Structure 1
Amino acid sequence: MTYWVSTLLTLLAIYAGISIALYYLQDYMLFKPEKLSKDFQFNYENQTYEEHNLETRDGATINGIRFFPKGKSKGVVLYLKGNSKSIKGWGKFAVDFTRLGYNVIMVDYRGFGKSTGRRSQKAIKRDLQLVYNKIKEVTSEDRIVLYGRSLGSGFAAKLASINNPRMLILDAPYYSLTKVTSRYMPFMPLSLLIKYPLPTYKWLKYVRCPIHIIHGTQDKLIPFKSSVKLSQVNPKLTKLHSVIGGGHKNLNNFEAYHQMLDEIINSKPKEIDLKSTSINVIHSSKNAKKQN
């Protein structure tokens, strides 16, 4: 009896130790920042851009870059990046939107690139709202497109839920970050431990603009089925776009992805006269007989 009690207590101690370590080390596990010196000079070939810094109310600095299209601007894309590196590298993706005639704003989260400040889910949400407010000072909301990539998809959904942008585009989004991490630690009480739950599905309920979800069918990090579930949260406003064979980090290598962006951003929604469609036609002859 003593042996089993001793073994149980040992296992509980180990479990508690892992839980404590997970709580305090999750920032290092989740975020993979690249830090840049204050005097670092960004360099993007064939792109026109300017660097900006925003001071937050708690004294942090949020560093970002504004990329300009070659012609007249059609609007602004606020691009919220993934959890690794800095806008030094992510800036290369701005061309996917400047070529379509849009300004692109990219910012580094706290602790990334030149951005400073203590990082938390609440602080990042507050920082991004500050950035959004600054964009509203120079353009109307019906010209703002929110684009969230991977980690940034949750923050983009939150911004869209409390503002009125023209549209929301989610690239490889997660249902919630708690769900993603639970795939790797199914026996841990993550709902109690995780400091960045990022419940995308909850925020999508309150989004009032068109929602476009893009996801690769071969994504091993965040499965395609995550986007299928998200598309059902606010179905009347949501369209799901699949990149056949696409993974988590290579959608930009698919021609289909760029065609989707072009169609999503430049197309205007059309009202359909459902009375002229087959929406009420029942395919099954058996059911049709019952109705007759």
Structure 2
Amino acid sequence: MPYWLHILIIILIAYVVISIALYYLQDYMLFKPEKLPNDFEFYYENQDTKEYNLETRDGAIINGLLFKPKGESKGIVLYLKGNSKSIKGWGKFAVDFTRHGYNVLMVDYRGFGKSTGRRSQKAIKRDLQEVYNKIKERTSENRIILYGRSLGSGFAAKLASMNHPKMLILDAPYYSLTKVTARYAPFMPLSVLIKYPLPTYKWLKYVQCPIHIIHGTNDKLIPYKTSVKLSKVNPKLTKLHTVIGGGHKNLNNFESYHKMIHDILNSTLQDIDLSTTSIHVQHSSKSNKTNI
């Protein structure tokens, strides 16, 4: 056997072995769950909370925590968190919405916190739709806000595409999870291997409510240009909010982020009479040196 053919066969075998390993180990590589015992008691200082457990049709338990505002509620934010830890640690961010008078419901995906069940993209989407349906039993959809953070942005976009919430807020979203992982394994056939493609861009096309995208310019995990690209998918309904200098995990440390949340939650959509603007005015192609 020629030496070059021997080397080629070794490379091909290694490629196949790595591909198989990526397929079966991706859950461990993508998700960083924190398991909590069933008797764990959530506690947040100065926060009024109530714990819920939803049993799904396949027998899994989805654990969630409701944070209540002081006074009458303006609506509810379904907060879909990132891929690490559990709602025990994420709960501290609920105050950014309860302070504006909104209930906040955070849920743990399968295998996170107290939630159980075998994890898959299809199962998580189905679980979250069941959670959304439970919310609809208690309030109207025009009072429901979907907030997706990082990993949760794709699931939030999917929920918004299948329902009619008041608005969709995406925090550090990805174009698709396949695109994100491709940065770290550019030579692997991830479009075939990845079990969680989460094509946010596809689902955004079908969203009919206002879409707000928040992203930091210094995000090293999911580049800011990703949100610029996403903002062009459904441009008439989308507004891009830029946190100058913001990274992937520290947007809450920026005053500009909290001003954005305030403006988003308290804004009302107004139609603009474009006939009174300069939208159709064209610059002259001829240079006029007297004008500055």
Distance 1:145 1:105 in 2: 10
Residues matched between the structures, number: 288
**Cα shift readout 1:153-191 (whole Å, capped 9, x = no counterpart):** 000000000000000000000000000000111000000
Structure 2 counterpart of 1:179 = 179
Distance 2:287 2:135 in 1: 54
Distance 1:221 1:264 in 2: 25
**Structure 2 unmatched runs, 5+:** none
Gap change, CA 1:139 and 1:287, over 3 Å in 2: farther
Q: Does the residue aligned with 1:49 lie in a helix, a strand or coil?
A: strand
Structure 1 counterpart of 2:211 = 211
Structure 2 counterpart of 1:53 = 53
Gap change, CA 1:5 and 1:234, over 3 Å in 2: same
**Structure 1 unmatched runs, 5+:** none
1:41 is aligned to 2:34: no
Q: What is the Cα deviation at residue 271 of structure 1?
A: 1.2
Structure 2 counterpart of 1:76 = 76
Structure 2 counterpart of 1:102 = 102
Structure 2 counterpart of 1:112 = 112
Structure 2 counterpart of 1:22 = 22
Distance 1:115 1:282 in 2: 58
Q: 2:155 is matched by which residue type in structure 1?
A: F
Q: What is the Cα deviation at residue 285 of structure 1?
A: 4.1
Structure 2 counterpart of 1:124 = 124
Q: What is the Cα deviation at residue 209 of structure 1?
A: 0.3
Structure 2 counterpart of 1:144 = 144
Structure 2 counterpart of 1:9 = 9
Structure 2 counterpart of 1:91 = 91
Distance 2:284 2:86 in 1: 55
Distance 1:156 1:287 in 2: 49
Q: 1:133 is matched by which residue type in structure 2?
A: N
1:154-165 pair list within 5 angstroms: 154-165=154-165
Structure 2 counterpart of 1:202 = 202
Q: What is the Cα deviation at residue 3 of structure 1?
A: 1.0
Q: What is the Cα deviation at residue 110 of structure 1?
A: 0.2
Distance 2:244 2:9 in 1: 49
Distance 2:95 2:277 in 1: 39
Distance 1:139 1:60 in 2: 25
Structure 1 counterpart of 2:134 = 134
Distance 1:228 1:2 in 2: 50
**Cα shift readout 1:178-216 (whole Å, capped 9, x = no counterpart):** 000001110000000000000000000000000000000
Gap change, CA 1:18 and 1:269, over 3 Å in 2: same
Distance 1:287 1:281 in 2: 16
Structure 2 counterpart of 1:252 = 252
Q: What is the Cα deviation at residue 63 of structure 1?
A: 0.2
Distance 2:33 2:103 in 1: 25
Q: 2:129 is matched by which residue type in structure 1?
A: Q
**Cα shift readout 1:200-256 (whole Å, capped 9, x = no counterpart):** 000000000000000000000000000000000000000000000000000000000
Q: Does the residue aligned with 2:132 lie in a helix, a strand or coil?
A: helix
CA RMSD for the aligned pairs? 1.1
Q: What is the Cα deviation at residue 283 of structure 1?
A: 2.7
Distance 1:243 1:96 in 2: 16
**Cα shift readout 1:92-119 (whole Å, capped 9, x = no counterpart):** 0000000000000000000000000000
Q: Does the residue aligned with 1:241 lie in a helix, a strand or coil?
A: strand
Gap change, CA 1:205 and 1:287, over 3 Å in 2: farther
Distance 1:11 1:35 in 2: 39
Q: 1:144 is matched by which residue type in structure 2?
A: I
Q: 2:198 is matched by which residue type in structure 1?
A: L
Q: Does the residue aligned with 1:132 lie in a helix, a strand or coil?
A: helix
Q: 2:183 is matched by which residue type in structure 1?
A: R
Structure 2 counterpart of 1:226 = 226
